[in-house]
Amino acid sequence: MDLVGLLKSQFLCHLVFCYVFIASGLIINTIQLFTLILWPINKQLFRKINCRLSYCISSQLVMLLEWWSGTECIIHTDPRAYPKYGKENAIVVLNHKFEIDFLCGWSLAERFGVLGGSKVLAKKELAYVPIIGWMWYFTEMVFCTRKWEQDRKTVAKSLLHLRDYPEKYFFLIHCEGTRFTEKKHQISMQVAHAKGLPSLKYHLLPRTKGFAITVRSLRNVVSAVYDCTLNFRNNENPTLLGVLNGKKYHADLYVRRIPLEEVPEDEDKCSAWLHKLYQEKDAFQEEYYRTGTFPETPMVPPRRPWTLVNWLFWASLLLYPFFRFLVNMISSGSSLTLASFVLVFFVASMGVRWMIGVTEIDKGSAYGNIDSKQKQND
């Protein structure tokens, strides 16, 4: 390991990233709270301001991937479709197999300049998580309970609010609902067999209702579906801890632009269309494992500097008073003060490990008895 690699793996560096992220995130959340006074006066101004505040938070994670880790992501796509990326609203359907696939989705949005306004279909519990969840609340993210009878109206209502959104956005959906594991795959294929659907080798059976209602609610506002299939070279198994340690990964992302007019409006036909899409995604993954590449022309969108500039701004604003406080605390010589410092350091350490732990594949949502029953009703 070279000197730079050794430096990147040190916990003190991780603690600095964590401190800047948490401190800046709470400051931004507070500013977002005060922007609520704009909602009844000028809703579109409220949205534009919160898009930029949201970018200040989410771009810090993208900075870790693109600048700290240096992870490379080659996009394989049709050159005729490429100029439209970032110039239109789109529904992004991404496979859900890797711990950092959400980061790769955010990186895609950042490369095409729409990270601040981009949306996800997320679990309702995440709305209560400080910083990320609160940020999502102020940017009108769409939350669901994964119970269709509850979600039918609330998700549709949230989606309809996005029809007059003033910023371009990617709406990211993991139609599989949870990350791929062998155990979840086995259960999912049992459901597929019971419903008479073709088996999938590299994906879970997609949940169709959320996708169908998204298409129906955003039709004539969203121009296309971007079918995105992600994989990593040399059987790499990327983790957030690896990114934090500065480990460089090599990703390939196959992006197909499908005009929304080609997606059926009828719910049953839309469901069948999505199942067919996942069969095609499975075939693309099979080809990737066989040949080491995806179809279409490989391209590398330019890395924009703004994620790094944003992090450097917050670091310069927050680190000096933080280190000055630490020096004063240590130099005081008080046993109570030193004990307090050790306690804070321990809590921060556990916080970093918790934030990493929630992304781990084996910590993903349950996919068993109740979940398989829900799938049979999809």
Closest to 98 (Cα-Cα) out of 251, 284, 300: 251
- By CB atoms closer than 10 A (0-12, 13-18, 19+), residue 120 is buried
Query: What is the distance between the alpha carbons of residues 96 and 365, in angstroms, rounded to a whole number?
Result: 12
Residue 96: pLDDT band with limits 50, 70, 90: very high
Q: Taking a C-beta distance cutoff of 8 angstroms, is the pair 352, 18 a contact? A: yes
* pLDDT digit string, tens, across residues 134-176: 999 999 999 988 777 888 888 999 999 999 999 999 999 999 9
Give how far the C-alpha of residue 354 lies from the chain's centroid of Cα atoms, to the nearest Å: 18
Q: What is the pTM of this model?
A: 0.89
Mean pLDDT confidence for 251-259: 97
Mean pLDDT confidence for 60-84: 96
What does CATH list as the number for 3-306?
3.40.1130
* pLDDT digit string, tens, across residues 200-247: 999 999 999 999 999 999 999 999 999 999 999 998 999 988 999 999
Instruction: Work out the number of other CB atoms within 10 angstroms of the CB of residue 247.
Output: 18
Q: Are strands 72-77 and 119-123 parallel, antiparallel or unpaired?
A: unpaired
Predicted local confidence at residue 354, as pLDDT: 58
